[in-house]
Amino acid sequence: MRSLPRILIVEDEPAIAELIAVNLRHNGFQPIWAMDGETAQKELDDVLPDVILLDWMLPKESGLSLAKKWRGDKRSQAIPILMLTARGDEVDRVAGLDAGADDYVTKPVVPKELSARIRAALRRTQTIEPSISNAKSLNKIGDVEIDRNLSVVRKNGSEVALTKTEYRLLVEFADHPGMVLSRDQLLERVWGYEYLGDSRLVDAHVRRLRVKVETQPEEPTMIVTVRGMGYRLLN
Ligand code: CA
């Protein structure tokens, strides 16, 4: 029997953590609760979860700092991080996405939405079969090379550490060179969201991707913004 996906809940408020855990169990996930960063770190050192649900306001080390730390650690860098934020906390949300979160869930948590986002995050971690169907599909963009067999990206020959979502986003661009892709199209194709998505997810991930693959991220020459429309890959 295939084991249930392990979801690490990092949340200091027991009532909220319990509510989420009950909901996850009910939806076929295996929740693990950590009340602070230190406990969460022990869990990560022990067994890697499939998804991390990370609260922002935590005692001692903040969610923001934990996200940065886990993204920087080779062992945990590919695990999807969904941050838990209070509704309306725009600044936190953008900061969280810039720190490496894949998505966010607003509190109070809506059970159906939570499972949908977790399922989508799990789908993004699955290997993309190298496609040969698209004749225009690029594996080389300037000094950046996409190795589709290994799901690895190299810049000037050195491996670039991308999250699964960042990798999928780059592949989506590489499959449509020169084409304008709207934020809605990217949300649907990369995140798997038709109605759930927030275009800031796309903007934050494009920013992160540029930092990793562009020579001058502030003046991108690879993934360019098309005002009012979306983004386009130049090659
Ligand atoms: Ca909290």
Ligand 1 centroid from CA 11, angstroms: 6
User: 190-219 pLDDT, tens per residue?
Assistant: 998 776 678 889 999 999 999 999 999 999
Whether the Cβ atoms of residue 105 and residue 82 lie closer than 8 Å to each other = yes
User: 173-190 pLDDT, tens per residue?
Assistant: 999 999 999 999 999 999
Using a CB cutoff of 5 Å, list residues around ligand 1, an ion.
12, 55, 57
Distance, in Å, from the CA atom of 232 to the CA atom of 177, rounded to the nearest integer, reads 7
Ligand 1 centroid from CA 94, angstroms: 18
Question: What does the pLDDT read at residue 32?
Answer: 97
Ligand 1 centroid from CA 204, angstroms: 23
- Any idea what DSSP says for residue 96? H
Structure tokens at 185: 């199209």
Nearest to 54 by CA among 36, 74, 72, 73: 36
Question: What does the pLDDT read at residue 150?
Answer: 87
- pTM to 2 decimal places: 0.85
- Any idea what DSSP says for residue 188? I
**C-alpha R_g of the chain:** 18
Query: Percent of the chain at pLDDT above 70?
Result: 94
Question: What does the pLDDT read at residue 95?
Answer: 86
Distance, in Å, from the CA atom of 93 to the CA atom of 86, rounded to the nearest integer, reads 9
Profile the chain (235 residues) by mean pLDDT over runs of 10 residues.
Answer: 89 96 96 97 96 94 94 91 83 84 90 92 80 71 92 94 92 95 94 78 95 95 95 93
Ligand 1 centroid from CA 222, angstroms: 39
User: 142-163 pLDDT, tens per residue?
Assistant: 999 999 888 899 999 999 999 9
Q: Identity (one letter) of the amino acid at 206?
A: V
Whether the Cβ atoms of residue 200 and residue 97 lie closer than 8 Å to each other = yes
